[in-house]
Chain A
Amino acid sequence: MTDWCKKTPLEWKDYVNKEVKVTSDEKNEHQGWVLTVDPVTANIVLVNFLEDSKMSVTVVMGHAVQKVDILDEGNDEVKERLTYLFMPEEMKTFSTEDLEKRKNNLKSWLEQNHIPVTEQGDAQRTLCVAGVLTIDPPYGPENCSSSNEIILSRVQALIQSALTH
């Protein structure tokens, strides 16, 4: 077990969106922008931007990491590119105003149906139903998550009927 694997998620988060050089077992060296660190395995996902908007993704397994050095603290442009890299297509097609509108429509629809709903998360983007179900942008039936499958299917059906209403 290396020092890297013993770090906490908050410590790993400090490396996200920064350019690093990773030294791994057998003297391998990898360089790139940190997209994320898997909190389960401590695997580091590095992204390198190539020409004609291609990208190369290298993942260094957490157990093989020996040393991580930060080369560049990064900027907002890189952060933006990395955040939306693997996001589903429908996430990108909505503007912030569109999302706000969709959220408010859905919120009022749920309230009309006597379902308690609150806003939470970063910039109140996530809708929370009765504290047991969350709806993330862009607020479709497939964006619901809950550990209670009965509530999940009811709310999904309700959102579906709101779309066809």
Chain B
Amino acid sequence: MIPGSQGWESRMDMPVPVIRLPRGPDGISRGFDLNSPRYQALGLKDYKELKQEQKARTVMREQYLRSLLAMVGQPVCFTMYEKVTVMACFGSADIDILNFQVSELQTPLGVQREALLRCPDIISYTFQLSPQHTGVQQELKEGC
């Protein structure tokens, strides 16, 4: 028992409204229904335009992720700020492309076996692609 709890109850003159949260996703969808009046009341984007935008987004993102995949194990030349250019063997990137994991990073002070490059420090990067690059990927997959 909390001492004086009765007194606290009697002091609550103003009733507190019960907040009803909107129904969540139903388990088979990926979010709130874009056709629902609730969503449309938000006045965000036209449903059709949103669909088109999502389509463009997925196609372009897939291509970009595939380009990262093709870069795995390749020597890549990174152009960074302050006119720094370094070579390294690309390993992987994190999901929001904030860091690149590379190996054999050739710095002016020597070769760093493993390193993380912060993407905000990079201006651009370049790599070569041979015609059989997809075959290289296959070998890598089998090697793993």
Contact = CB atoms under 8 A, between A and B. Distances in A.
A118 to B, nearest CB: 15
Contacts of A50: 128
A101 interface: no
A89 B135 contact: yes
A36 B123 contact: no
Chain B contact-residue range equals: 35 or more
Contact of B63 (A26, A35, A56): A35
Given A8-B53, A40-B97, A61 B61 contact: no
Nearest to A39: B57
Interface in A130-149: 130-132, 147-148
B37 to A, nearest CB: 21
Nearest to A47: B129
Contacts of B125: 58-59
In this complex, which of A13, A24, A86 has the most chain B Cβ atoms within 10 angstroms of its Cβ?
A86
Kindly state the interface size class of chain A when it binds its partner.
35 or more
B30 interface: yes
Contact of A56 (B28, B60, B67, B129): B129
B96 A25 contact: no
A24 B29 CA distance: 41
Interface in B11-66: 28-30, 49, 52-53, 56-57, 59-61, 63-64, 66
A116 to B, nearest CB: 12
Interface in A63-83: 63-64
Nearest to B95: A40
B124 interface: yes
A61 B123 contact: yes
Nearest to B138: A89
A97 B53 CA distance: 30
A86 B64 CA distance: 9
B28 A132 contact: yes
Interface string B92-131: 0000110000000000000000000001101111111111
B70 A26 contact: no
B135 A40 contact: no
Given A25-B81, A38-B97, A61 B124 contact: yes
Interface of B: 28-30, 49, 52-53, 56-57, 59-61, 63-64, 66-67, 69-71, 79, 81, 83, 96-97, 119-120, 122-131, 134-135, 138
20 contacts: A10-B52, A12-B56, A24-B123, A26-B81, A26-B123, A36-B60, A36-B63, A36-B64, A45-B67, A53-B131, A54-B128, A54-B130, A55-B129, A56-B129, A58-B125, A59-B124, A60-B124, A64-B122, A64-B123, A85-B129
